[in-house]
């Protein structure tokens, strides 16, 4: 197979890997540093979530912690790919983590619905569809050349994975928005507005793939996840104090 070259004389492979170039410009250094910093911030939020889980071991706290772990993993993959280490396995992990983030975070918001049967059914659905995405993500080859450009994951995975991922992300986004609406109806809180903003940013984030600066998607994902986290943290505290009977039935 022949290897093409860009106008500045580097190979296609080097063009997909900014750190494959002999020199980096200031923009590339800034992007790399910011991605590493965002990964560290998400890791700190994950640790905070599990500390809160130890202090108050609830299902919601556990789901938020797991969701942030997936978010941290996805951001770390984005950092590693930008630094030049990319393979089909790395991209498979990324596709799975990206689908699991919103699905797992949404499991921490089901209590606000105050319907134990709906909560159980939705949990089984998200677990099943997320597992399905995981299986097919690792069974489907993902060539780096078709998904990575200049160190940024810009390409879409195969149609099958897009469809399966949407079975997780679309219902999860709807549930997060529904939970936000119900929370606002019961008690107007600025934390709920954060949750709405986070869900909308994550739900619409894919449109940034076609932007002239696609790495903006990474920052949008980070912002959406952080907004969701701080919005979600306040929701069960308000519902648990007002509906102890429902909580007991759910257990």
> At 118, is the pLDDT very low, low, confident or very high (cuts 50, 70, 90)?
confident
188 found inside a domain = yes
pLDDT tens across 21-75, in order? 446 677 778 888 888 888 888 888 888 888 888 888 888 788 888 988 998 898 8
pLDDT above 70 (res 106)? yes
Residue 164 sits in a domain of what CATH number? 1.20.1070
- In-domain check, residue 52: yes
Q: Is residue 247 part of a domain?
A: no
In a domain, 100, yes or no: yes
Asked if the structure places residue 103 within a domain, the reply is yes
3-class state of residue 134 by DSSP: helix
Rounded alpha-carbon distances, angstroms, from residue 244 to 34, 56, 175, 176: 43, 15, 22, 22
**pLDDT range class, residue 18, cuts 50, 70, 90:** low
What the block records as the tokens of 192 is 């709920």
Q: What is the tally of structural domains in the chain?
A: 1
**Domain containing 38: what range?**
25-240
Answer whether residue 8 is part of any domain.
no
Q: Between the CA of residue 37 and those of 14, 33, 41, 43, 93, what are the distances in Å?
A: 24, 6, 6, 10, 20
Identify which has the larger pLDDT, 18 or 163. Answer: 163
pLDDT mean across residues, the chain:
75
- pTM, 2 dp: 0.73
Q: Is the residue at 135 inside a domain?
A: yes
């Amino acid at each position: 197979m022949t290897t093409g070259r860009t106008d500045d004389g580097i190979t296609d492979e080097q063009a997909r890997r900014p750190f494959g170039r002999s020199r980096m410009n200031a923009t590339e250094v800034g992007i790399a540093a910011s991605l590493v910093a965002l990964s560290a911030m998400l890791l700190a939020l994950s640790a905070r979530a599990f500390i809160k889980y130890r202090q108050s071991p609830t299902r919601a706290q556990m789901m938020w912690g797991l969701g942030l772990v997936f978010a941290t993993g996805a951001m770390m993959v984005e950092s590693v790919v930008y630094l030049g280490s990319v393979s089909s396995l790395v991209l498979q992990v990324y596709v799975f983590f990206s689908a699991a983030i919103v699905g797992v975070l949404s499991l921490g918001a089901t209590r606000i619905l105050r319907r134990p049967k709906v909560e159980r059914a939705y949990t089984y659905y998200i677990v099943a569809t997320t597992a399905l995405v995981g299986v097919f993500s690792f069974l489907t080859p993902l060539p780096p050349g078709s998904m990575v450009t200049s160190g940024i994951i810009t390409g879409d995975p195969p149609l099958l994975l897009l469809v399966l991922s949407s079975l997780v992300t679309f219902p999860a986004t709807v549930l997060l928005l529904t939970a936000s609406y119900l929370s606002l109806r019961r008690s107007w809180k600025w934390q709920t507005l954060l949750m709405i903003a986070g869900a909308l940013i994550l739900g619409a984030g894919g449109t940034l793939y076609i932007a002239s600066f696609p790495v903006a998607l990474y920052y949008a994902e980070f912002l959406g996840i952080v907004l969701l986290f701080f919005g979600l943290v306040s929701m069960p505290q308000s519902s648990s104090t007002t509906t102890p009977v429902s909580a007991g039935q759910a257990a």
